Amino acid sequence: MSDPGSPARPVGTTGPLAHRVPDLAALELLLAVARLGSLGRAAKEMGITQPAASSRVRSMERLLGVALVERSPRGSRLTEAGALVTDWARRIVEAAEVFDAGAQALRGRRDSRLRVAASMTIAEYLLPGWLIALRGRLPDTAVSLLAGNSAAVAERVRAGEADLGFVEGLDAPAGLDGAVVGHDRLAVVVAPDHAWARRRTPLPPAELAATPLILRERGSGTRQVLDAALAAYGGLATPLLELASTTAVKSAVVSGLGPSVLSELAVGEELAARRLVEIPVAVRLRRDLRAVWPLGQRPTGPARELLSLTRG
Amino acid sequence: MSDPGSPARPVGTTGPLAHRVPDLAALELLLAVARLGSLGRAAKEMGITQPAASSRVRSMERLLGVALVERSPRGSRLTEAGALVTDWARRIVEAAEVFDAGAQALRGRRDSRLRVAASMTIAEYLLPGWLIALRGRLPDTAVSLLAGNSAAVAERVRAGEADLGFVEGLDAPAGLDGAVVGHDRLAVVVAPDHAWARRRTPLPPAELAATPLILRERGSGTRQVLDAALAAYGGLATPLLELASTTAVKSAVVSGLGPSVLSELAVGEELAARRLVEIPVAVRLRRDLRAVWPLGQRPTGPARELLSLTRG
DNA sequence: TGAGGGCATAAGCTGGATTTATGAGTGATC
DNA sequence: GATCACTCATAAATCCAGCTTATGCCCTCA
């Protein structure tokens, strides 16, 4: 069927995304076809039969209303549209790989070879990527992840329940060795139509301190750093709103409820898409990201490998 | 079942991703539960029944081997692990939204209210985000997308077959009005273990010019800009390898075959994950991203709205 | 104490996707 | 020039996953 023209009425713009986006297996298949240049080979790699692959690609084309691959007796190549779709598909698959790496670690099997404890921000944004890279070097290393606040992480490492910890904060936790593996800047963010977005000059710290913000609940590392940085300017005002998750905070800010201060790791995408705007502020809002381990016990084996990955 | 402990043997680390990652519908459901605080309400929003939602969440928990939501007679809240998983899930869903926005436009229905032509780089990395934002303002606007190189885009716009075009390049296309909507920097990239990655000083342009690179096939905008920038330094060496897609180029570079020059838009993720390293070079490799329209016909309606989005 | 909201379980059904088996087209090779 | 090796498409039968409907239990609040 080189004619994708019996248009089984592509699904409209309503309803759940899942009805309009092919499933992960189909997207992976498409990537495999792009890479291998043949439906049959792609099928084999995915562990299905050639007709199944053929049918999957076809239903994907029906769903999207566009021909994705050019079949020929010598193999299959992507069409122009197919190349575009494949690149969008790759983003989904990469996000799924992050999910998978994180989820596997979260499963926290007792027989793990490497037990990692990490603060929420690191666990959420950085660790899965490190784990994917680690899998590239030590494919058979089972990793378990325990996420919690910095104090809890330090405690786990001290107790020997984790081989390696990752924390964010101003100071290294007491009683542990460690190394700075990166930095994290806190960004003052507002919705694009907020008055601050029209400022031409950096925000005075005192104004930031005096403004009620949307923040995570007490105890988060972000809030701690903010508190310390603004102590000299009258201290942090009573929050406008206290929410349980970083995501909830972001949503609130995006919908214009007020400003917030969040890790740049958490708002990168929103800033790029201009759903949020960062406001320069004349105070240093920076914290270290640290790997920590028990005093004197320099990491070895998988822990050492992971540590080396984090420092590039 | 507050005990997720009859551990239906979580799937191992082999095989297709789709067997280890819940499908999009389940992930969307999880986000809805997180947002609405109740399985039943989430079910209603997704257009399924409450038992179906309950079952989906349960099988997700079985798949991941972790409890995600705390059920209570008063509703459901995410567990700690659930919050983490939900954030990873959100990344997948956002990638799916990008896919969806792009794919819908690609479908290119004749009855579209807004016909856009765009160069590959813009179509791939920027346009879907703009379309998502546009949907927020003009929900009922059907958009069609035609992707091609800059010359083809200009031609479509001149012929009145597209209401708005987006091109990248050094100069504005002749015979069209336009506005710069952004910039794109070309980055010299190599694998992390390449010799250039250990340089402490910027790469001399002449050395870049003399080195065979991995590039896209002739005719790509990237290559054009590179040619122009290095003309004064002896001109571009014969490529080491010419590949059909940006992605193929990236893979080749990542696996250490050689250096390349790619749009920063294309390598952002790879740089962040340190799969690639950018090499500073003492020459300006920058190009404008332009919106274009027929002379004198300043965009109106949906085209104008889209244009305003791109300039934030 | 009854009503309402919330979740779990059971049973039956439906539909989609898979596999096996085959055919047909193309290009290379002897 | 015929055969082989590879590609993909089609057809038919099967099977399983997930849905809906119909309940029941638990808790909270009036």
Inter-chain CB proximity A103 and B88 less than 8 Å:
yes
Nearest to A68 by CA among B282, B99, B25, B218: B99
Candidates A75, A95, A73; CA nearest to A33 is: A75
pLDDT for B312 equals: 59
- What pLDDT is attached to residue A8? 40
Residues of A in contact with B16 (CB under 8 A): 24-25, 28, 46-47
Distance, in angstroms, between A73 CA and closest chain B CA?
A: 21
B252, B188: one domain: yes
Domain assignment present for residue B240? The answer is yes
Kindly report the average pLDDT of chain A as a whole number. 89
Backbone phi, psi, residue A288, to 5°: -85, 150
Answer yes or no: is B131 within a domain. Answer: yes
Q: Is A256 part of any domain?
A: yes
pLDDT computed for residue B118 by the predictor: 95
Query: Which amino acid does the sequence have at A209?
Result: A
Statement to judge: residues A69 and A110 lie in one domain: no
Residue scoring higher pLDDT (A46 or A246): A46
The 10s digit of each residue's pLDDT in A82-140 is 999 999 999 999 999 999 999 999 986 667 789 999 998 899 999 999 999 899 899 98
Among B70, B96, B122, the domain-final residue is B96
- Summarised one tens digit per residue, pLDDT across range B262-284 is 999 999 888 887 889 999 999 98
Domain that holds residue A58: 16-96
User: Is the Cβ of B8 closer than 8 Å to some Cβ of chain A?
Assistant: no
C-alpha to C-alpha distances, A267 to A217, A260, A272, A284, nearest whole angstrom? 18, 11, 9, 18
Option in A21, A96, A147 nearest B80 (CB): A147
CATH of the domain at B189: 3.40.190.290
- A113 and A38 in one domain? no
Taking 60 as the threshold, does the pLDDT of residue A274 lie above it? Answer: yes
B66 located within any domain? yes
Q: Render the burial of A182-216: b for 16+ CB within 10 Å, e for the rest.
A: bebebbbbbbeebebbeeeeebebeebbeeebbbb
A72 and A108 within one domain: no
The region of weakest confidence among A177-191, A215-229, B128-142 is: A215-229
Q: Give the CATH number for residue A131.
A: 3.40.190.10
* Cβ distance of B13 and A104 shorter than 8 Å: yes
For the cut 70, the answer to whether the pLDDT of residue B40 exceeds it is yes
Nearest chain A CA: its distance from B231 CA (Å): 30
pLDDT digit string, tens, across residues A40-85: 999 999 999 999 999 999 999 999 999 999 999 888 999 989 999 9
CATH of the domain at B61: 1.10.10.10
Q: Mean pLDDT across the stretch A233-244? A: 89
Domain match, B277 and B203 both? yes
- Residues A195 and A259 occupy one common structural domain: yes
What is the reported pLDDT for B11? Answer: 52
| B74-CA/C1-C1' distance, Å | 20
Pairing of strands A75-78, A69-72: antiparallel
Q: Which of B60, B128, B81 is CA-nearest to residue A273?
A: B128
- pLDDT (tens digit, 9 = 90+) per residue, B83-99? 999 999 999 999 999 99
Indicate if CB(A4) is under 7 A from strand D.
no
Residues with Cβ < 8 Å from B244, sequence gap 6 or more?
A: A83, B216, B217
Instruction: Please give the full DSSP string across B124-137, using - where no structure is assigned.
Output: HHTHHHHHHHHHHH
B2 belongs to a structural domain:
no
Q: What is the pLDDT of residues B194-213, one digit of tens each?
A: 999 999 999 999 999 999 99
- pLDDT exceeds cutoff 50 at A306: yes
How many structural domains is chain A composed of?
3
Residues A303 and A279 both lie in one domain: no
pLDDT band at B107 (very low <50, low <70, confident <90, very high): confident
Contact B178, B258 (CB under 8 A): no
Residue B8 lies in a domain: no
Residues in Cβ contact with A293 at an 8 Å cutoff, skipping those fewer than 6 apart:
A157, A163, A164, A165, A176, A177, A178, A299, A303
Same domain, A197 and A232: yes
Same domain, B218 and B250: yes
| pLDDT beyond 80 at B7 | no
pLDDT at B130 over 90: yes
Does B300 share its domain with B172?
A: yes
Pairing of strands B75-78, B69-72: antiparallel
Whether residue A67 is found in the same domain as residue A155? no
Give the CB-side neighbour count of residue A184, counting CA atoms within 13 A.
29
Q: Tell me which of B72, B96, B120 is where a domain ends.
A: B96
Q: Is the CB of B51 under 7 A from strand D?
A: yes
Residues 6+ apart with CB under 8 A from B55: none
Q: What is the pLDDT of residues B157-179, one digit of tens each?
A: 999 999 999 998 888 888 899 99
B109 — pLDDT class (breaks 50, 70, 90):
low
pTM for the structure as a whole:
0.90
In-domain check, residue B1: no
Is A211 within a domain? Answer: yes
Q: In this complex, do A84 and B102 lie within 8 Å of one another by their Cβ atoms?
A: yes
Where among B59, B81, B96 does a domain terminate?
B96
B150 shares a domain with B129: yes
